[in-house]
């Protein structure tokens, strides 16, 4: 883990590390993962204040998480969830209607 990460970014690092490693991410991607952790920590702090992060932040966090395989289609494909419309593949399908 890079020394420059804030305490909040380090929390994100430890929270997400197992997931990115499970998707085949190794030390070659540590700088990308550190950027993701830093930006995710900033977004979380803004959300905690009841505010919305700027669109650029949320877009970049999404792009990095997809690149790291922890969200988006690549994340679903690697975990076997290839059809988001299939109720059996969607853990949220069983939620009650509001």
Query: Which tens digits make up the pLDDT trace of 7-46?
Result: 999 999 999 988 888 887 878 888 899 999 999 999 999 9
Model pLDDT, residue 94: 66
CA 82-86-87 angle, to 5 degrees, is 130
Residue 7 phi/psi, 5-degree rounding, is: -60, -40
Query: Domain boundaries in the chain?
Result: 7-89
pLDDT of residue 4 exceeding 70: yes
| pTM of the entire predicted model | 0.71
pLDDT of residue 72 exceeding 50: yes
pLDDT: which is higher, 86 or 25: 25
Nearest to 65 by CA among 27, 20, 28: 20
Model pLDDT, residue 18: 86
User: CA of 81: how far to CAs of 28, 37, 90, in Å?
Assistant: 26, 25, 8
Do residues 88 and 44 lie in contact, with contact meaning Cβ atoms separated by under 8 Å? Answer: no
Model pLDDT, residue 9: 94
Looking up tokens 């593949």, which residue turns up? Answer: 89
């Amino acid at each position: 883990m890079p020394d420059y990460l804030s305490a909040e970014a380090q929390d994100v690092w430890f929270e997400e590390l197992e997931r990115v490693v499970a998707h085949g991410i190794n030390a070659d991607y540590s700088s990308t993962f550190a950027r993701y952790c830093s930006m995710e920590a900033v977004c979380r702090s803004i959300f905690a204040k009841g505010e919305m992060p700027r669109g650029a932040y949320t877009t970049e966090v999404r792009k990095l998480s997809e690149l790291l395989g922890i969200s988006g289609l690549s994340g679903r494909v690697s975990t076997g969830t290839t059809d988001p419309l299939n109720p059996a593949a969607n853990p949220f399908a069983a939620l009650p209607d509001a």
